[in-house]
Structure formats: structure tokens, C-alpha cells
Amino acid sequence: MTELVLRLLRPIAGAMSERIGVGALRVSIAIVFLWIGALKFAPYEADSITPFVANSPAMYFFYKHPEDYKRHLTREGELKPAERDWQTANNTYAFSIGLGLVEVFIGLLVLSGLLTARLGLAGAILAFLTPLVTLSFLVTTPEAWVPALGDAQHGFPYLSGAGRLVLKDIVILAGGWLLVVDGVRAILAQLVTHLKAERTSSKVRSACGKSGSTIQIQ
């Protein structure tokens, strides 16, 4: 029985299984950035991130009237032309498109790690840093917590739907770091291989030089 368990577990703990896991993690993180980044071009997604941006010390200045956002919020699937006009004037959609382009770019860089270690490492670093910004929304955004509307459960630690969505970014933070480590390992392996090749080439040239000198002396 023990031998059977060992036979089943060894492949899972092996190097090939680890490579498959890292590859799957890379593709998963890339999909998140690519998909959500593409959604940033849709008005409903731009509307939904308004509370996060308007309350963020690092982003609020991208909006023209961040202090007025609460009066112009809409629900997903709801169309109010007047609110859309306000969001357009507020620079909500232009900012969201710019953010979407950045997220798609990060997703492509992360995915490129399947082919090139250097670009993949750049994407991994950006994927790791991005959640540091989004997780700060738990501190800066009131809408991240259940409001006090009469129920006993409100405020910390009761996350709202928006807050629960943000909290999941902690997984991307950890996954991004694993991709950073994987990228650094790959680049170090390339550098070691290159260094060994240079040393071998140098030894060959040195040996050829000594051989030529010996022939001339003779």
C-alpha cells in the first residue's frame, strides 16, 4: 500500500509537475489581466470601478469630479443616459480605457513568459505589483465594506461584494511572486550557460594560441 502511494505521489512532486503548475499559473494570471483589461473598454465596467478610483490617493486626480461620484453610480445592466454623460465628462471612460490597455499589456507580457524569460519576468513583476495597488482599495474605498443600513453585520470585517472581489487579488499577488521567482531562475540558468560557453571558448582560444606559439618556436 505504501509503495502504491509513493508511486502516485512521486510524479506529482516531480519537476515536470512543477513546470506544468507554473505554466498553468502563468496562463491563469494572463487570462485574468487580458479578460478584465478588455472589459475596461465597456462602460459598465468603467462605471463599476468609479468608487475605487475616486477614493484612491493614487488615482482620484484622473477624474475631473471625483467627489461627486456617489450621485452618479448605476447598477450593472442599468442604462441611464444622464449618468453616462456625467461619467464621460468626468473622464471615467477615458481613464478606464487607458487602464484596460495597461492590463492587457501586462497580460500579454505574462503570457510571453512561455516563450521568453526576460519579457515574462517583466510581466511577472508588473503582475506582482498591481495587487499592491488594488488591495489598498480595502483601506481607501468605503464601498468595499458592508454599509450600516440596520443589520448588525457592517463595516470591518464584513466585506461587500466589491470588497470580496478585491480581496481575491491577494492570490494574484502570491502567484505573481512565484512567476517572478520562476523568471529569475530561468534568466540565471541562461546566464550560467552563457558564462560556461564563454569560458570554454576562452580556453579553446588560449589552447590554440599556445599551440601556434609552440609550432613557431619549433
Could you read off the pLDDT of 45-58 as tens digits, one per residue?
Answer: 999 999 999 999 99
Does any domain span residue 44?
Answer: yes
Range of the domain at 175: 2-134+168-217
How is residue 203 written as a grid cell?
580556453
Task: Determine the pLDDT at residue 172.
Answer: 97
Task: Determine the pLDDT at residue 50.
Answer: 96
Does any domain span residue 128?
Answer: yes
Task: Determine the pLDDT at residue 211.
Answer: 58
Task: Determine the pLDDT at residue 156.
Answer: 94
Does any domain span residue 28?
Answer: yes
In 3D space, the residue among 174, 189, 171, 145 whose CA is nearest the CA of residue 52 turns out to be 145
Burial class (CB in 10 A: 0-12, 13-18, 19+), 108: middle
Task: Determine the pLDDT at residue 207.
Answer: 67
Q: What is the tally of structural domains in the chain?
A: 1
Q: How far apart are the first and last CA of the chain?
A: 73
Task: Determine the pLDDT at residue 17.
Answer: 86
How is residue 164 written as a grid cell?
470580496
Does any domain span residue 213?
Answer: yes
Does any domain span residue 157?
Answer: no
Task: Determine the pLDDT at residue 121.
Answer: 97
Preceding omega of 11 cis (within 30 degrees of 0): no
Does any domain span residue 158?
Answer: no
Does any domain span residue 42?
Answer: yes
Low-confidence ranges of the chain (pLDDT < 70): 207-218
Predicted model pTM: 0.86
Percent of the chain that is helix, strand, coil (3-state, to 5): 80, 0, 20
Task: Determine the pLDDT at residue 194.
Answer: 82
Does any domain span residue 149?
Answer: no
